[in-house]
């Protein structure tokens, strides 16, 4: 999660090693830690940045699992900043990955008129396998913004455009903490994305100097709200690393 200002971050996380029964009990996550885990998925509330929150609440629910596809929803209302996202830990070199097929179908069931938020993938690279994103071992963060509302924008500044998977993305580059952030921002909101994320990594290795020996240590997807309230409903989400 990389932006031009500090965010309060709340994670909805998925780990490939675990599986929820269907349906999954709803969890109300309001300024406290909460984790639901079983054999395939882990629903987690991460309290990083919580001390900056002023008020508000957040309710998250994983609603179903079908094979490698999961459905979930999150409803939030914050007068400070907040974020809910989905992450999957991996640990392969870019050169060893042939494809990253994904399918993500989502909608705003409701959204306040002043909502400032994005909906995006968040991929983390490191020189070391077995590490996690947003840590001292992180080298690159790659965000793929399917939606931006209310003027939300990524860290850094625009350095050009990149045509990937039939979309001409605005490409931003910046620095957060100790890592470099590349953000691909869609020109229009994409609420149904059925594609492959590997071409984004290929573009960075061929055009932006990112080494193919970097490890992909974490993959996330979710929403990062700055201001406002909304219900974001994901009807299906899947991600595979081949």
Q: Which of 7-11, 51-55, 186-190 has the lowest mean pLDDT?
A: 7-11
Q: What is the model's pLDDT at position 53?
A: 54
pTM attached to this predicted model = 0.82
Q: How confident is the model at residue 153 (pLDDT cuts 50, 70, 90)?
A: very high
Give me the active site residues, please.
141, 224
What pLDDT band is residue 54 in, cutting at 50, 70 and 90?
low
Higher-scoring residue by pLDDT: 167, 63: 167
The rounded distance, in Å, linking the Cα atoms of 21 and 212 is 37
The tokens for 207 are: 């055009």
* CATH pick for 10-239 out of 2.60.120.180, 2.40.37.10, 3.30.420.40, 3.40.50.300: 2.60.120.180
User: Quick one: pLDDT at residue 209?
Assistant: 98
* Tokens 């071992």 belong to residue: 137
What average pLDDT does the segment 77-89 reach?
Answer: 45
* Residue of 237, 13, 241, 242 whose CA lies nearest to 107: 237
Do residues 12 and 85 lie in contact, with contact meaning Cβ atoms separated by under 8 Å? yes
Say what the pLDDT of residue 21 is.
34
Compare 49 and 169 and report the one with higher pLDDT: 169
For the CA atoms of 132, 134, 138, 144, the dihedral, rounded to the nearest 10 degrees, stands at 100
């Amino acid at each position: 999660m990389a932006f031009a200002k500090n965010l309060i971050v709340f994670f909805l996380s998925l780990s490939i090693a675990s599986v929820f029964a269907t349906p999954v009990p709803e969890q109300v996550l309001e300024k406290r830690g909460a984790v639901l885990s079983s054999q395939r998925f882990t629903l987690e509330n991460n309290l990083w940045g919580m001390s900056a929150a002023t008020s508000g609440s957040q309710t998250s629910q994983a609603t179903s699992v079908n094979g490698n596809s999961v459905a979930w929803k999150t409803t939030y209302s914050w007068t400070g900043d907040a974020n809910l996202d989905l992450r999957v830990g991996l640990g392969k070199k870019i050169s060893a990955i042939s494809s990253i097929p994904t399918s993500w179908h989502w909608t705003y069931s409701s959204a306040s008129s002043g909502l400032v938020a994005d909906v995006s993938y968040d991929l983390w690279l490191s020189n070391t396998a077995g590490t996690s994103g947003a840590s001292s071992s992180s080298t690159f963060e790659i965000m793929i913004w399917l939606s931006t509302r209310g003027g939300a924008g990524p860290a850094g500044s625009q350095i050009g455009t990149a045509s990937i998977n039939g979309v001409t993305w605005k490409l931003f580059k910046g620095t957060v903490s100790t890592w470099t952030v590349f953000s691909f921002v869609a020109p229009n909101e994409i609420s149904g994305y059925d594609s492959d994320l590997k071409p984004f990594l290929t573009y960075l290795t061929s055009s932006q100097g990112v080494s193919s020996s970097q490890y992909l240590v974490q993959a996330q997807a979710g929403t990062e709200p700055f201001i406002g309230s909304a219900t974001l409903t994901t009807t299906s989400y899947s991600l595979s690393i081949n």
